[in-house]
Structure 1
């Protein structure tokens, strides 16, 4: 009896699994905080040159004039008329003025004439030389009381350094995807999850203590490593103890806690405007989650794949007790048969399987798994880079940054909720759902090229983000269903790794606006549409038992029923693959 057969008896998503899954979802919420703290730690705020010798007290006492901010900036900072109305002060230059004796005269003579006359008179001071900021900068702290940008003066010529720490962070994603995907298969999901959580706490508090730019970037790199390791491990752990009929729910719903964390961050950051205090507030809850994490069990599916059947039995029996079901005495005795060949000649292969543990190279040694993996790697890359691109566009809605951030997060919840239902539709399944959501994102991306800036273009952009968010949510579930148990986290890690490489390269794509302003949109849209087309060459996984051995993974999808065309519809309203496998999991489409 295979583990999926055990789950049918145990309950595919019984009370025990629901409790464990809820704990896994709690672990996902802070993932959004770690990823998106960059938005507020590196938040831009208005800035202008610090003026040497300008002292508010001296100004008031010696010149008899109030030295408010407008007066100070008007007298010392060059400005240009913006749209013929209110002036816009320069951010990187100042007037070369050392004598402020004329300030009181200018103010006294223009007070009656209003603000416009004041600016005109204060600016008509013999056109002093304009020089770069030579004494640092001052910042508008009405939105952010303290950011790392303000601390390090990452403005003007040094503004290019703002994006580097996030590139380091995505580099950590790359390493974490590769390392913890392999370690999760080698040492277990639960053990590695505890390890990454401890390191996330340590690196989170370390960031608070950093006062050096490059050290900040290095700590962000390690945060990316441990964060991605945590996300991969929680995702796999949350889906491997769930039966076939509920696998789509567990695989897609886990994205909603991430979006909830995304939304919560907008509120937390609104109340805590100091980035260091915000970081402390975001790391501290991990202590509570760590306590809950300890009670999580290891994945029985992984234990069985490692030959630790007795440990798996103990966990399954406890789950059966909580779910109030009775298991047969020999419910795992036949599990050794899962490594047998379909032709019955097993002795030689069983010996070889014992001699050599499956590893990541097996993914590329077998033709079908190699082809699928390459397609998945491309789709992951597209999802990552386009999702990132849409996030950049939604951050310029022209409204309060916290509202903009909240809206950008909120739109992901209906996208992930839709995923739960469409993957269960008899005709859509996993494959066609991926195709349609990718095409929606790609077409919307291309349409924005032909729409003038404004509300309508923003609406189309949000539709595009809806599509790519839905596709990004689906790709996790689809990926783990296509790899066998012994290579599942390694396969997910490799695919996720390619997505992180795409994130690192995304700024290079954005630089192509120097040649044509719409070049990034053309690249994003066309690549997304191609990804949707390539999905047609992957097998459907809806209602299918997860492949457990390498041979299962290689033979997966070879049934004649999988040759159906994209437009064919099952005659009886059910997925023909369910009938071929005798699965009763998804007949009701719920």
Structure 2
């Protein structure tokens, strides 16, 4: 009698051609779904803008008398920003009192010298935008600048609220009704809401649809991740998890190219969304997760999938193969598993608190740096592309080191390195811009590596019966960090180094606390809540419980390294 991990090792292969094909089919739609997480960088881009001055437009003054610089001096006051004098983006001179003086017979000097005696007012006539880089954007369409600029940040936060709700809702549904059905439901809804989002003409409708897009887009990635973890053997889980994490890096790089080619926000939104529609056709190619079927007691269906996997991998199953499932369908509470099982017992409560805190902090670090690429010197598209490139070594290196050194210590190191780099960057003098950028990119490298590890680690710490809801609730806490991250950049108005300090300092603390969590390298995945409660609990200084084939068997102990 063998459990599913043993079947994979001995008879199917831990990562055969069919598992690779399966992972490809569910991982591919995760890329456009991840692009929604960052799309506000371009569809909500804020170009250079100044107050509109309809009084001068009516006089056609720019064409007849003055150059652009003269018009700016006549209508827009100067202000000191970060030690540099520049024209204000949110105020203008009040020309109403002097409108009668702008007669066509006035000379250029007479026309433009009158500005020194004018009062200053807000942009009561709207704004003029520089459309040389971004032809249209949500910011320009809804005037999300000046005293309304926080609404731009709010739109990104609303998306993360949707991710938060969707992760819990669809995570629980996928544990109850299956990975496959839930995966294709959220994939279809993401296409519907994403397309609708492109045709909104009011800010309220836009943010409502952003909520729905977030609620459906991120669960596609989340469920794909869980499927990948459940269909490969223990020694290949880290690889499977790292490959799908590359979807974030790929999404950033592809989005940079799309945004460079498509400068209209409506068409860019469609270009991000529509590729997912093609993936819906793979319904007939993807079976249900056999591990989920076993956990639900649907043994015959699980055996059909197992036979299919063996056949596609060129393997032959023994005729007397019998799955050990008699304890897999038991529940610690005797009822339907739920999010309460994550904190119902002392050991699970302690592990969940530490997991949730690490998710919260690493998300603030990751999104705070990802959404702040416009602050880097140079081209916006190149900078954003490079922010995706730097993630690749973070994901790949973390994939390698966790197979050799486990999950705990590497996660701690990535978090601490990323946190220290951000704090150090906060105090670098402004004239050392290359050094600041280098430290920020090191911070992004650390965030990417830590994100990769915490995803894999979380999936291994929670049992099959609540694994998806465990990852979902973890994502809930991470999205609390995602909701806050767009507003952290605004704190630079209080104190310049404050945003980077807020990003970096908690990362160091979270990394240190992660050392309390148990190691999972090479261990079987816990299936039941009973196994998860005992998993990682030490009875003696050098011993740790690991899940066995039967929870009623003697407790197995291994020496910790």
* Superposition TM-score, scaled by structure 1 size: 0.85
Within 5 A, what are the aligned runs for 1:269-308?
A: 269-308=259-298
Q: Per-residue deviation at 1:293?
A: 4.4
User: Whole-Å Cα distance in 2 between the matches of residues 254 and 126 of structure 1?
Assistant: 60
Counterpart of 1:113 in structure 2 is: none
Answer yes or no: is 1:433 the counterpart of 2:423: no
Q: Which moves more between the two structures, 71-80 or 545-554?
A: 71-80
Q: Per-residue deviation at 1:25?
A: 1.9
Counterpart of 1:6 in structure 2 is: 7
- How many pairs were matched up? 542
8 Å Cα contact 1:78/1:95 also seen in 2: no
Within 5 A, what are the aligned runs for 1:231-270?
A: 231-270=221-260
Cα shift readout 1:380-401 (whole Å, capped 9, x = no counterpart): 1111112222235443112111
8 Å Cα contact 2:417/2:443 also seen in 1: yes
8 Å Cα contact 1:73/1:89 also seen in 2: no
Cα shift readout 1:434-481 (whole Å, capped 9, x = no counterpart): 111111112222222432232112211211221121101110000000
Within 5 A, what are the aligned runs for 1:502-517?
A: 502-506=481-485, 516-517=495-496
Cα shift readout 1:241-298 (whole Å, capped 9, x = no counterpart): 0011111100111111221111110110011111011111111111112112442111
User: Whole-Å Cα distance in 2 between the matches of residues 457 and 354 of structure 1?
Assistant: 52
Counterpart of 1:29 in structure 2 is: 31
After superposition, the Cα gap between the structure-2 partners of 1:244 and 1:581, relative to the gap in structure 1 and judged at 3 Å, is farther
User: What is the DSSP-based 3-state SS (H/G/I as helix, E as strand, rest coil) of the residue aligned with 2:87?
Assistant: strand
8 Å Cα contact 1:31/1:258 also seen in 2: no
Answer yes or no: is 1:443 the counterpart of 2:442: no
Q: Which moves more between the two structures, 82-91 or 164-173?
A: 82-91
8 Å Cα contact 1:94/1:133 also seen in 2: no
Counterpart of 2:360 in structure 1 is: 381
Counterpart of 2:370 in structure 1 is: 391
Give runs of ≥4 in structure 1 deviating > 6 Å.
81-86, 579-582
User: Whole-Å Cα distance in 2 between the matches of residues 469 and 84 of structure 1?
Assistant: 34
Counterpart of 1:411 in structure 2 is: 390
User: Whole-Å Cα distance in 1 between the matches of residues 66 and 26 of structure 2?
Assistant: 56
Q: Per-residue deviation at 1:517?
A: 4.0
Answer yes or no: is 1:39 the counterpart of 2:18: no
Among residues 205, 210, 226, which one is paired with 1:215 in the alignment? 205
Counterpart of 2:472 in structure 1 is: 493
Among residues 399, 402, 417, which one is paired with 2:381 in the alignment? 402
Answer yes or no: is 1:312 the counterpart of 2:302: yes
User: Whole-Å Cα distance in 1 between the matches of residues 122 and 337 of structure 2?
Assistant: 61
User: What is the DSSP-based 3-state SS (H/G/I as helix, E as strand, rest coil) of the residue aligned with 1:365?
Assistant: coil
User: What is the DSSP-based 3-state SS (H/G/I as helix, E as strand, rest coil) of the residue aligned with 1:398?
Assistant: coil
User: What is the DSSP-based 3-state SS (H/G/I as helix, E as strand, rest coil) of the residue aligned with 1:202?
Assistant: helix
Within 5 A, what are the aligned runs for 1:74-223?
A: 74-79=73-78, 88=87, 90-96=89-95, 97-99=98-100, 106-107=107-108, 122-124=112-114, 127-223=117-213
User: Whole-Å Cα distance in 1 between the matches of residues 113 and 412 of structure 2?
Assistant: 60
Within 5 A, what are the aligned runs for 1:461-476?
A: 461-476=440-455
After superposition, the Cα gap between the structure-2 partners of 1:355 and 1:547, relative to the gap in structure 1 and judged at 3 Å, is closer
User: What is the DSSP-based 3-state SS (H/G/I as helix, E as strand, rest coil) of the residue aligned with 1:176?
Assistant: helix
Q: Per-residue deviation at 1:223?
A: 1.0
User: Whole-Å Cα distance in 2 between the matches of residues 441 and 310 of structure 1?
Assistant: 47
User: What is the DSSP-based 3-state SS (H/G/I as helix, E as strand, rest coil) of the residue aligned with 2:128?
Assistant: strand
Answer yes or no: is 1:531 the counterpart of 2:510: yes
After superposition, the Cα gap between the structure-2 partners of 1:104 and 1:148, relative to the gap in structure 1 and judged at 3 Å, is farther
Q: Which moves more between the two structures, 435-444 or 371-380?
A: 435-444
Q: Which runs of 5+ in 1 are unaligned?
A: 108-117, 340-349, 566-578, 583-590
User: Whole-Å Cα distance in 1 between the matches of residues 465 and 483 of structure 2?
Assistant: 29
Q: Which moves more between the two structures, 269-278 or 121-130?
A: 121-130
User: Whole-Å Cα distance in 2 between the matches of residues 218 and 486 of structure 1?
Assistant: 33
Q: Per-residue deviation at 1:52?
A: 2.2
After superposition, the Cα gap between the structure-2 partners of 1:537 and 1:59, relative to the gap in structure 1 and judged at 3 Å, is closer
Counterpart of 1:568 in structure 2 is: none
Q: Per-residue deviation at 1:564?
A: 8.3
Counterpart of 2:550 in structure 1 is: none
Answer yes or no: is 1:16 the counterpart of 2:18: yes
Cα shift readout 1:14-59 (whole Å, capped 9, x = no counterpart): 0100101111221211122211111112111112222225448x73
User: Whole-Å Cα distance in 2 between the matches of residues 386 and 301 of structure 1?
Assistant: 33
After superposition, the Cα gap between the structure-2 partners of 1:502 and 1:257, relative to the gap in structure 1 and judged at 3 Å, is closer
What RMSD in Å do the two structures reach over aligned CA positions? Answer: 2.9
Within 5 A, what are the aligned runs for 1:315-330?
A: 315-330=305-320
8 Å Cα contact 2:75/2:92 also seen in 1: no
Q: Which runs of 5+ in 2 are unaligned?
A: 545-555
8 Å Cα contact 1:64/1:104 also seen in 2: no
Counterpart of 1:367 in structure 2 is: 346
Cα shift readout 1:67-111 (whole Å, capped 9, x = no counterpart): 76445434433346889999635543144053585678645xxxx
8 Å Cα contact 2:156/2:486 also seen in 1: no
User: Whole-Å Cα distance in 2 between the matches of residues 562 and 230 of structure 1?
Assistant: 41
8 Å Cα contact 2:297/2:328 also seen in 1: no
